[in-house]
Chains A and B, each alone.
Chain A
Amino acid sequence: GNSVTQMEGPVTLSEEAFLTINCTYTATGYPSLFWYVQYPGEGLQLLLKATKADDKGSNKGFEATYRKETTSFHLEKGSVQVSDSAVYFCALMNTGFQKLVFGTGTRLLVSP
C-alpha cells in the first residue's frame, strides 16, 4: 500500500539556519507529492506540491524536488524564521483518488 515516512521531530533551529526535513514514500503508480503545514490551533495549509518526477515545488522560500529514483521529497529552506515554527506534513495522493496519505509530521521550532 501507499505510505509516507518522514523524520521524527522536533527539529530545533536558530533563526536563519538551513532547514531540511526528510520524506520518503512508497506508492503504486505515479503519485503527486505535497508538503502541508499546520500552525497551532489551525487546519492544514498546502505549502508546495509536485505532480511528476523531477518537478520542484516551491513557496515562501521552501523547496522540494520529486525524486522518483530515491522515492524522496525532502523539504528545504535556506534561512528559517521564527514564524516558520509549525508542524510539517509530507503527503502523497494517487491521481484519480481524493485521498491523501500523510506522514507522521515533523515539528519545527525556530528560536530567535
Chain B
Amino acid sequence: KAGVTQTPRYLIKTRGQQVTLSCSPISGHRSVSWYQQTPGQGLQFLFEYFSETQRNKGNFPGRFSGRQFSNSRSEMNVSTLELGDSALYLCASSSGDRSSYNEQFFGPGTRLTVL
C-alpha cells in the first residue's frame, strides 16, 4: 500500500506571495490532517478534513486554509506569506472513524522557506 505523499517536497517563496501544498492520503483513508513544524513552536495542528468537510481547526490565522477533494486528496493554502511561515508542513491520513482510535500516518512533509 502506498504511503502518504506530499508535493512539492521543497518550496521557496518570498514574502507576500501565496503557496499551495498538496497531500495524497493512503488509499481508503478519508481523513487528512495538517500540521506545522517549526523550531520555535514545535508541532502544531492546523486543521483536519474528512469527506470534503473541515472537521477540526487549530489556532491559526485565516491566511491558512485548506480543502479536500472527493478522492480525499487535500490541499492547504497560505496567502500573504510571512517570514514566520517558514516551516515543515506535515500531513497525516487516517480512516477518520471517530468511534475508536485510528492511527495517523504521516507524509514526509513539505519544507517551505519564505525569503
B-facing residues in A54-112 (Cβ within 8 Å): 89, 93, 95-105
Q: Interface-forming stretch among B14-22, B68-76, B77-85, B101-109?
A: B101-109
B24 at the interface (CB under 8 A from A): no
Are A98 and B106 within 8 A (Cβ)?
no
Closest Cβ of chain B: how far from A92's Cβ, in Å? Answer: 11
Most buried by B among A46, A51, A97, A99: A99
Interfacial residues, chain B to chain A (CB-CB below 8 A): 4, 31, 33, 35, 42-45, 48, 50, 55-56, 58, 90, 92, 94, 96, 98-101, 103-109
Cβ 8 A contact of A95, one of B44, B55, B100: B100
Cβ 8 A contact of B33, one of A32, A42, A96, A98: A98
Size of interface on A: residues with Cβ below 8 Å to B: 22
Interfacial residues, chain A to chain B (CB-CB below 8 A): 32, 36, 42-46, 49, 51, 89, 93, 95-105
Bound state CA distance, A36 and B94, in angstroms? 16
Are B31 and A98 within 8 A (Cβ)?
yes
Bound state CA distance, A45 and B92, in angstroms? 10
Are B96 and A42 within 8 A (Cβ)?
no
Cβ 8 A contact of A43, one of B42, B50, B55, B109: B109
Bound state CA distance, A86 and B109, in angstroms? 16
Are A98 and B90 within 8 A (Cβ)?
no
Bound state CA distance, A93 and B56, in angstroms? 13
Are A98 and B101 within 8 A (Cβ)?
no
27 pairs of residues in contact across A and B, judged by CB atoms under 8 Å:
A32-B101, A42-B108, A43-B108, A44-B90, A44-B106, A46-B103, A46-B104, A46-B105, A51-B101, A93-B101, A93-B104, A95-B98, A95-B100, A96-B98, A96-B99, A97-B98, A98-B33, A98-B50, A98-B56, A98-B94, A98-B96, A100-B33, A100-B35, A100-B92, A100-B104, A102-B42, A102-B43
Chain B residues with Cβ under 8 A from A101's Cβ? 45
With contact pairs A44-B90, A93-B101, A104-B42 given, residues A99 and B106 touching in the complex (Cβ less than 8 Å): no
